[in-house]
Structure 1
Amino acid sequence: MDNKSLSHTRWKCQYHIVFIPKYRKKVLYGRLKVDVKEIICTLCKYKRVDIIAGAVCADHVHLSVAIPPKISVSDFMGYLKGKSTLMIYDRHPELQSRWDKSFWARGYYVEKIGNITDAAVERYIREQADKSRDED
């Protein structure tokens, strides 16, 4: 991916992010899996975050994203997990009472993509998605 630019900044801030549903429940399948993917894409567009690669597995989500430098990773993840929870519960109200109003677990894993190639991260995410698909 080429460097992006803001009015006075050239940037390439790519991250590999992994986050899980509360209690790592294997709930991300069927219609919910499709909705989660659509919701994440929509919310990323709102914040102008580019999704390079992504996979919604049965018990976790992988994202390779380019986040503009004016947005911190923690702010973006708070926004993504908070808004997506509301949107998921709007579409699937039966899930709301299960985990005390929280759909996602509190933490997440993030690493800056720098010393490895984009292709290596995309291959890893694809392999995780294939593995998850085989388990389904």
Structure 2
Amino acid sequence: MPYSCGSHTAFHHHYHIVRTPKYRFKVLHGEVRLRVREIIRQVCSELGVKIIHGVLSRDHVHMFVEIPPHIAVSDFVRRAKGRSSRKIQQEFEHIRKRYWGQRFWQRGYFSTTSGNITDDVILNYLDKHTNPNKAGFSPNP
């Protein structure tokens, strides 16, 4: 089990996070999908969050990420949701019309650690979840 190191820490904090657009509309395709992926990568690089694996389906996002100990999972999700929601609605008029209340993502999210199951089980699940019509995340470029 490889550990990541900070200036005064060694850690292994892997989280499986799932988020869905409001009402679970199937809007994550085409240019919207690519832009959401790009925005999430930007937020991860700014916060020092490492993307281990990720999958974008038409109606939800799976992320398997390593979050440093000084960042709360809720803060990471809040920043990713807030920035992607705002930018997607600014850039895509059809999304702005559909989500007229300025809320693109569902209120909550699902998160679990890889403590009770191994990282390999989560990665296998995400690989099975991927098909040729779905764009995935690759590790940070």
The TM-score with structure 2 as length reference comes to 0.87
Q: CA deviation at 1:132?
A: 6.6
Amino acid across the alignment from 1:89: Q
Is the 1:52–1:66 contact (alpha carbons within 8 Å) kept by the matching residues of 2?
A: yes
Q: CA deviation at 1:6?
A: 1.4
Does structure 1 residue 91 correspond to structure 2 residue 91? yes
In the alignment, structure 1 segments of 5+ residues that lack a partner are none
Q: CA deviation at 1:131?
A: 8.7
Is the 1:58–1:132 contact (alpha carbons within 8 Å) kept by the matching residues of 2?
A: no
Counterparts in 2 of 1:120 and 1:131: CA distance versus 1, 3 Å:
farther
Q: CA deviation at 1:115?
A: 3.0
Amino acid across the alignment from 1:13: H
1:60-99 to 2 correspondence within 5 Å? Answer: 60-99=60-99
Amino acid across the alignment from 1:130: N
Amino acid across the alignment from 2:117: I
Q: CA deviation at 1:7?
A: 1.4
Q: What's the C-alpha RMSD, in Å, of the aligned pairs?
A: 1.6
Partner of 1:120: 121
Query: What is the percent sequence identity of the aligned residues?
Result: 41
The TM-score with structure 1 as length reference comes to 0.90
Is the 1:14–1:65 contact (alpha carbons within 8 Å) kept by the matching residues of 2?
A: yes
What is the distance in 2 between the residues matched to 1:125 and 1:91? Answer: 29
Runs of 4+ in 1 over 4 A off after TM superposition: none
Does structure 1 residue 111 correspond to structure 2 residue 112? yes
Equivalent position SS for 2:38: helix
> What is the aligned residue count?
133
Amino acid across the alignment from 1:127: K
Equivalent position SS for 1:7: coil
Amino acid across the alignment from 2:88: I
